[in-house]
């Protein structure tokens, strides 16, 4: 009991081995002792053919929760293999917010049946969640908030709770509303346990805690939770009515997904895609990104093409040009990532962007002196041509300057255009540093070496 749980990956290995050896019984026990999120990660980590085997093992009452945790692609794959009865059984016990996430992936005809199997109140709740974007506060909320009136005493609340029985998971506070469901504040459960039972809710409630508007984007919700160390928070309509509550577990998922999305989008990938997708699906998916990059590669090659005559006479330029271009890309990417992170954290706008631009230019020139010095000297020695060395030096200085400016400017401009800098920043930047790197080296070479 006191030992750290076995690290997940090694448990996955054990399970995969059991499956290989055909030890089905033992494997099944192990799987059903896992948390739905872990089962989902395990299923995602298997090639498609083996997923069905695991899925058969999962107990029906866990199936719904596992489906919710799976990435979209694997989820629809499994759903398409389930019959209507199974699916209805799986969705039956889900929390309404989880059902809201899942329902869009169900077959049309089934949605109808699932809705009919719900009672009127749950149906209304479901539709109230579906009215909001999945990645907004409204889409994240649950409808299981426990509410109390401001004028009752703590003692009455305690009696009510004991009568009510089991509280929803992660209930750290009750929400205080008036007769018209208007949100007034929250009262911590620990307050109920420690304060004078004769006090009224109104006396002890925390009315400074603001309700979150249902339209608030999920990342904004995550920041609120992080900054205020919340476990749950109220979602409140523009008219002040309590709509539901958001709990930290869903916020943690938002933070994790947001982080994954930004890394994956740097390579034009989608974090909801199946890592074990088939060859054709994967190839088609990556083709767009590769095409975009191919176009920019042609652009850069075109610049080189303009200087064919120069290269023919001074071949050394062809040898050195990848260095000039790639060093610009490397230095520029450092600036780019720094700025993108600052934008995500809300730490950069107009007023301090200028400060950063100047700092980056200075850093670029300072490191440029070193890099250009080394490469220039090396080039001079290598090709025994000092004029060439000076030209390489100058081209590198120009490109590192361009890299600094592009590293600050590209993400700011993309953001203003409404394009995700994490997605398009890298391609745009390296296109700029490639073009300027090639043009400056070959251009200076044409001017001074021919």
Minimum Å gap between C-beta 116 and a copy of itself is 30
Minimum Å gap between C-beta 227 and a copy of itself is 5
Nearer of residues 124 and 270 to a copy of itself, judged by Cβ? 270
Backbone angles phi, psi at 379, to 5 degrees: -65, -45
Contact 420, 265 (CB under 8 A): yes
Contact 207, 184 (CB under 8 A): yes
Rounded Cα–Cα distance for residues 312 and 318 (Å) = 9
Burial of residue 198, with CB atoms counted within 10 A of its CB: 0-12 exposed, 13-18 middle, 19 or more buried = exposed
Minimum Å gap between C-beta 134 and a copy of itself is 18
Nearer of residues 269 and 391 to a copy of itself, judged by Cβ? 269
Minimum Å gap between C-beta 91 and a copy of itself is 20
Minimum Å gap between C-beta 90 and a copy of itself is 19
Q: Which two tokens stand for residue 435?
A: 């073009």
CB neighbour list of residue 26: distance below 8 Å, 6 or more residues apart? 18
Paired with 173 in beta bridges are: 188
Rounded Cα–Cα distance for residues 176 and 147 (Å) = 6
Nearer of residues 319 and 387 to a copy of itself, judged by Cβ? 319
Pick from 150, 103, 149: nearest CA to 125? 103
Instruction: Determine how many CB atoms are found less than 10 A away from the CB of residue 91.
Output: 23
Nearer of residues 112 and 169 to a copy of itself, judged by Cβ? 169
Nearer of residues 133 and 349 to a copy of itself, judged by Cβ? 349
Nearer of residues 20 and 86 to a copy of itself, judged by Cβ? 20
Rounded Cα–Cα distance for residues 198 and 115 (Å) = 44
Rounded Cα–Cα distance for residues 157 and 193 (Å) = 11
Minimum Å gap between C-beta 315 and a copy of itself is 5
Nearer of residues 115 and 374 to a copy of itself, judged by Cβ? 374
CB neighbour list of residue 297: distance below 8 Å, 6 or more residues apart? none
Minimum Å gap between C-beta 413 and a copy of itself is 17
């Amino acid at each position: 009991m006191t030992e750290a749980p076995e690290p997940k990956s090694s448990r996955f290995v054990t399970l995969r081995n059991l499956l290989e050896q055909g030890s089905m019984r033992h494997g099944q026990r192990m799987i059903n002792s896992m948390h739905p999120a872990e089962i989902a990660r395990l299923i995602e980590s298997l090639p498609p053919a083996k997923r069905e085997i695991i899925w058969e093992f999962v107990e029906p009452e866990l199936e719904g929760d596992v489906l919710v945790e799976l990435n979209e692609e694997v989820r629809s794959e499994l759903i398409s293999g389930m019959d209507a009865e199974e699916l209805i059984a799986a969705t039956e016990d889900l929390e309404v917010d989880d059902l809201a996430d899942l329902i869009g992936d169900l077959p049309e005809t089934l949605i109808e049946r699932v809705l009919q199997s719900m009672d009127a109140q749950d149906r209304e709740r479901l539709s109230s969640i579906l009215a909001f974007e999945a990645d907004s506060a409204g889409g994240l909320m649950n409808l299981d908030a426990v509410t109390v009136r401001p004028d009752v005493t703590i003692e009455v609340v305690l009696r009510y709770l004991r009568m009510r029985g089991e509280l929803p998971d992660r209930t750290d506070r009750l929400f205080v509303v008036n007769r018209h469901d208007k949100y007034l504040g929250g009262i911590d459960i620990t307050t109920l346990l420690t304060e004078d039972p004769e006090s009224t809710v109104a006396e002890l409630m925390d009315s400074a805690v603001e309700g979150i508007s249902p339209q608030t984007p999920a990342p904004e919700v995550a920041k609120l939770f992080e900054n205020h160390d919340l476990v749950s928070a109220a979602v409140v309509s523009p008219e002040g009515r309590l709509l539901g509550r958001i709990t930290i577990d869903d916020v943690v998922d938002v933070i994790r997904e947001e982080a994954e999305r930004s890394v994956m989008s740097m390579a034009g990938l989608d974090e909801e895609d199946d890592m074990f997708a088939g060859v054709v699906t994967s190839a088609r998916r990556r083709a767009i990104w590769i095409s975009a990059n191919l176009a920019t590669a042609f652009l850069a090659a075109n610049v080189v093409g303009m200087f064919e005559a120069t290269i023919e006479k001074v071949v050394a330029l062809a040898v050195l040009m990848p260095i000039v271009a790639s060093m610009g890309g490397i230095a520029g990417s450092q600036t780019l990532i720094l700025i993108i992170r600052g934008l995500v954290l809300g730490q950069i706008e107009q007023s301090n962007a200028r400060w950063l631009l100047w700092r980056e230019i200075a850093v670029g020139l300072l490191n440029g002196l070193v890099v250009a010095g080394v490469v220039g000297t090396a080039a001079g020695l290598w090709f025994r041509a000092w004029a060439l060395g000076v030209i390489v030096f100058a081209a590198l200085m120009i490109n590192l300057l361009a890299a600094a400016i592009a590293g600050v400017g590209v993400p700011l401009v993309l953001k203003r255009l409404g394009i995700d800098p994490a997605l398009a920043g890298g391609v745009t930047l390296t296109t700029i540093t490639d073009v300027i790197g090639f043009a400056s080296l070959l251009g200076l070479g044409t001017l001074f070496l021919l």
